[in-house]
Amino acid sequence: MVLTVRSRPTRSAADTVQLSGNLWVSSNHFKKSQGNLSFPTLPSSGAGGAFCSLKEHAAGVGMGNALMSVVAFFPSKSCQKLVLGGDIEEMPPDKMLDLSGRHLRRFPVQACAFTQLLKLYLSNNNLSSLPAELQLLGRLQILALDFNRFRELPAAVCRLRQLSILYLGNNSLCDLPAELGALADLKTLWIECNCFERVPQVVAELRQLRVLHAGCNQLGELPRELRRLRQLQSIWLPGNQLGDFPPVLLEMESLEVIDLDRNKIRCFPSLAHMKNLKLVMYDHNPCKNAPRVAQEVRRVGRWADYRPEDHIKSPAEAAPEQVGESRDVEAAEKAGQNQEFA
């Protein structure tokens, strides 16, 4: 299929777009649908009109992405086929469907016929909703919805009971529905770069969660309910508004990675009791100290290489030295007394 743009002689008042076959769409319709976005006018040359490749023309005027976004707005089969790069007719052999960066405004419902699908990537589109038919993808394990326009999580997502990885970053979400707690197998959740002022309550119900990315939001504190996440290994909280080190993290001994970079924390408690901790990042905080950690734990931040605890001797180590010092003092005193008698 070749997408062409021309000025059709039978419609002298409006430029038209030929998508395929006899499908024609007026540029006036584009203007009405997209507000100030207008379609470029091409010079006509005789009855046949001037033909050019849409891709080549868009490259010439720098409107390739804008034109694709306009075409994606129309639900016709021809428009959707163009946006998707072809028909979606057969199950991908690897059971993965990647529709990222296609300027989609509507999810192609025909993809819901692939009930054996395991991975679905819809990143970097213009989606703000998903159809109820999405729940037919009951075996889906990975779903990527990041870099879209979601203001609330579509209800169908909460019915994908076998999801283990869910990407929701870079949207406009302020909360998550309680129904998300039904995803009992969810192990990785990305909610970074949204509008959260608090961690949604339902997150504490995801008992199998191992990785939580919640950076670049407006979080001022963490709820104590997070201590229920006994399997959580990594928590990423950079770029928030945390003024104090979240006390609940001290109770989560399963944590291996803690990222608190770019917050407002002034004082860090000791983390030496966290036996599984491997990495703690705390750079770009107005802190007055570095968190104390076990010897094998890596720190990233101010004073990361300075470990005052290495220079502090334990009571067991200090006791023999103190005993030796006291004996030396006693010997010196006796020597002084003998000299006096002499």
pLDDT in tens, 67-91: 444 444 455 555 455 445 455 667 7
CB 86 within 8 A of CB 110: no
Stretch 92-105: mean pLDDT: 94
Read off the tokens for 83: 């946006």
Strand order in the sheet with 52-53: 23-26, 16-20, 4-6, 52-53
Q: Cα(166)–Cα(144) distance, rounded to whole angstroms?
A: 6
Q: Cα(81)–Cα(292) distance, rounded to whole angstroms?
A: 58
pLDDT tens string 249-258:
999 999 999 9
Torsion of CA 151, 162, 197, 220, to 10 degrees: -160
- Count of CB atoms situated within 10 Å of the CB of 310: 8
On average, the pLDDT of the chain sits at 77
pLDDT tens string 213-246:
999 999 999 999 999 999 999 999 999 999 999 9
pLDDT tens string 129-170:
999 999 999 999 999 999 999 999 999 999 999 999 999 999
pLDDT of residue 8 exceeding 50: no
Among 32-36, 277-281, 288-292, 319-323, the least confident range? 32-36
CA distances from 255 to 102, 208, 252, 277 (A): 37, 13, 6, 6
Backbone angles phi, psi at 188, to 5 degrees: -135, 130
More confident residue, 4 or 155: 155
Q: Cα(81)–Cα(23) distance, rounded to whole angstroms?
A: 13
Helix axes 64-73 and 77-84, enclosed angle (nearest 10) = 140
Stretch 282-307: mean pLDDT: 92
pLDDT of residue 183 exceeding 50: yes
Q: What is the pLDDT of residue 169?
A: 98
Among 9-13, 50-54, 149-153, the least confident range? 9-13
CB 225 within 8 A of CB 199: no
Give the rounded distance of the alpha carbon of 264 from its chain centre.
22
Radius of gyration of the chain (CA): 32
Q: What is the pLDDT of residue 9?
A: 34
Q: What is the pLDDT of residue 318?
A: 45
> What pTM was estimated for this model as a whole?
0.69
Torsion over CA: 19, 25, 28, 33 (sign): negative
Q: Which residues pair with 37 in a beta bridge?
A: none
Q: What is the pLDDT of residue 63?
A: 44
Among 27-41, 45-59, 187-201, 212-226, the least confident range? 27-41
